[in-house]
Amino acid sequence: MRSESPFLTAFLILAVSGVARAQDDEPMPLQAQRLEHTLGHLAADYARFGRSERKEHMAMAREAERIAKGLRAPPDVAARVATVRGMLDASAPAEDVRERVDDLRRALIGAYRIEDAPPVSPSVTHGRALYEQNCASCHGPTGRADTARAASVRPHPVNFRDPLFGETLTPYEVTTTVRFGIAGTAMVPFAALGEADRWDLAFYVLGLRHPGPLAVDPPAYSLSELANRTDEALRAELSTVPLAAADVEPTVAALRRKVTYERRRRRGALALARAQIDRARVAGVRGERDEALDDVREAVTRGLRPAEAALSSVDPAVGRALGGTLAYLADRVRSGAPPAEVDAAIGMALGALTRADRALDASYARAAALHAALGASSLLAGMALLMAALRSRNRWPRALLAGVAFVGAFGDTHPAGALFAPPLASDLPPSTPRSVPPTDARHDFAS
C-alpha cells in the first residue's frame, strides 16, 4: 500500500469501510488510531485495576466517545464505544470488555489502514539510544522504573519488568503510547519521534523484559507476529510446542532480542507459509476476503506442499495438524467468519507452523547426534559440514547441500545415512527455497 498513490489509497479506504457516500470527508487515520489506542489502554487498565480506577476509566471512555463522534467509519463506531462505556458502568467482566474493544480496534485498523507492524526490521542500537535519551529517566535504564524521577511522579511510571504491565504489552501498543501519550499522566506524547523511531523504541522496550540467555535456535516468527503479540501470548503459544520448560524463557528472550532484529529473511517453505499467513491476516483485517483466501492457498501450495514429504517422514502427526489448521483457516475465511474467529484460526495455523519447524529442526539435530554417537571416524567430515550448516543463519539451504553431499558420500554404506534421505530429497525442486522470489511487495516485514 505504501507506494500507491494517495487517490488509490483513499479509494480503497472508502470502498472497504463503507463510507463511499461521504466522499467529501477526509479519512482521519490519526484520530482513528488515537481512538484505537485510547480503547486499548482502557481495556488493559480495566483488566489490571477493575473498579478501583473507575473515575479514570469513565473519563477515558468519554474521551473515546468524543473522538468516535468525529469518525465516519466503521459506520457504527460511536454506538460501539458507547456500548463499551455501558459495560464499564455495569462492571462487566474484563475479558468481555477486552473482546468488544479488540473487535472495534480491529475494525478501526482495517478501515483506516493503520500500520500495526513496521515495514522494515527495527534497529536495536537506535532503539537503545532513544530509550536512554527519552524514557530511562522515568522508566529506568533497565525498565524497572526505579529512578529518583520515577519516585516523584504520580501515577508512577510503568515498571516494564512487572508482569502486571509487561506481560500484556505489545510492541505495537508501545508505539501508540509513545505517539499519543496517556492523558492525565506524566506519559506525554513524544511528538518529535517519527514512525521508525517509535518502532525501534517499542521493540527495545519489550527486549528489556528479557535480559537472560537466548535460545540457540528460536522459531522463525515474523516481524508482524512479534509486533502484535504480548509476552503472555508468546509463552502460551510456545507451551503448545514441544519445548522443555527450561527452554521457554530463553526462547521468548530470543524472539524479543534476536529474531526481531534478524535482517535476513528466513528461507524455506515453512517461512514462506508464515509470510503468506501474515498477508492473509492483513487482508482479513481489511475485509479483503478473496485476497485473504488466495494468501492461505499460497501458504498451502508454496509452503506446506514442498515440506509435506519431509514432515510426514519426521512426524506425520505434526504435518497432518498443519494441514488441518490451514484447511480450517481457509474455511473460516471463505465463509466470512467473524474477525475474532479468523484471528483464532490464524493463531492455530501459526502455532502448527512453529511445531512443524521445531520437528524438522529436531530431526536434523537428532540425526547429527546419532552420527556423533556412532563415532565412525569416516563420518566426521560429513558431520562437521552438517553441524556448521545447522549453526549458520542460513541453515536450510546449507543443511540441504551438506546433507546431499553427506548422503551422497555415505548414504549407501551406512544405515544412518537413510535418515537424511527423505526430508532432503523432498525439500528440493520444484520449490527449492532459494529459487523462490521475494514474496511480498505489500506486506513483507521479515526482510
Summarize as ranges the residues that interact with ligand HEC (CB under 6 A): 41, 44, 134-135, 137-139, 153, 155, 157-158, 165, 169, 173-174, 177-178, 182, 185-187, 190, 201, 205
User: The C-alpha cell of 354 is what?
Assistant: 512453529
Q: Closest CB to ligand HEC among 182 and 385?
A: 182
CB of 95 to ligand HEC, least distance (A): 17
CA–CA distance, 318 with 91 (Å, rounded to integer):
43
The cell numbers describing 53, all together, are 480506577
Q: Which residues contact 173 (CB under 8 A, 6 or more apart)?
A: 37, 40, 41, 44
Residue 221 Cβ vs ligand HEC, minimum distance, rounded to whole Å: 21
The residue among 165 and 364 lying less far from ligand HEC, judged by its C-beta, is 165
Other Cβ atoms less than 10 A from the Cβ of 320: the count is: 13
CB neighbourhood size of 186 (10 A)? 15
Span between the terminal Cα atoms of the chain, in Å? 17
DSSP structural state of residue 434: G
Q: How far is the CB of 129 from ligand HEC (least distance, A)?
A: 11
Write down the H helix ranges in 245-338: 245-257, 269-285, 289-298, 305-314, 316-334
Nearer to ligand HEC, 42 or 241 (CB): 42
- What's the min distance (Å) between Cβ of 144 and ligand HEC? 13
Q: Cell numbers 521445531 correspond to what residue?
A: 358
Cβ nearer to ligand HEC, comparing 187 with 280? 187
Q: Is 255 exposed, middle or buried (0-12, 13-18, 19+ CB in 10 A)?
A: buried
Q: Which residue has the cell 459506520?
A: 75
Neighbours of 203 (CB within 10 A): 26
Amino acid at 441: A
Beta carbon of residue 126, minimum distance to ligand HEC (angstroms, whole number): 13
C-alpha span between 78 and 75 (Å, rounded): 8
Which C-beta is closer to ligand HEC: that of 40 or that of 268?
A: 40
**Cell 512487572 sits at which residue?**
162
Say how far apart CA 244 and CA 394 lie, in whole Å.
Answer: 25
Q: Which is nearer to ligand HEC, 19 or 84 (CB)?
A: 84
Residue number, 174 or 322, with CB nearest to ligand HEC: 174
Taking Cα atoms as reference points, which of 216, 228, 217 lies closest to residue 350?
228
What type of residue sits at position 412?
A: D
Give residue for cell 517509535. 198
Distance of closest approach, residue 185 Cβ to ligand HEC, in angstroms: 4
User: Do residues 44 and 187 make contact, with C-beta atoms less than 8 angstroms apart?
Assistant: no
| Nearer to ligand HEC among residue 185 and residue 394 (C-beta) | 185
Nearest approach in angstroms of CB 150 to ligand HEC is 7
Q: Which is nearer to ligand HEC, 112 or 190 (CB)?
A: 190
User: In whole angstroms, how close is the CB of 231 to ligand HEC at the nearest point?
Assistant: 13
C-alpha cell belonging to residue 211: 535480559
Q: Which helix (H) or strand (E) segment is 266 a member of?
A: none
CB of 173 to ligand HEC, least distance (A): 6
Of the candidates 115, 118, 86, which has an alpha carbon nearest to the alpha carbon of residue 100?
86
The residue assigned the cell 509463552 is 235
Q: How far is the CB of 201 from ligand HEC (least distance, A)?
A: 5
Residue among 16 and 178 whose Cβ is closer to ligand HEC = 178
3-state helix, strand, coil in the chain (%, to 5): 70, 0, 30
| C-beta of 143 vs 382, nearer to ligand HEC | 143
Q: How far is the CB of 193 from ligand HEC (least distance, A)?
A: 7
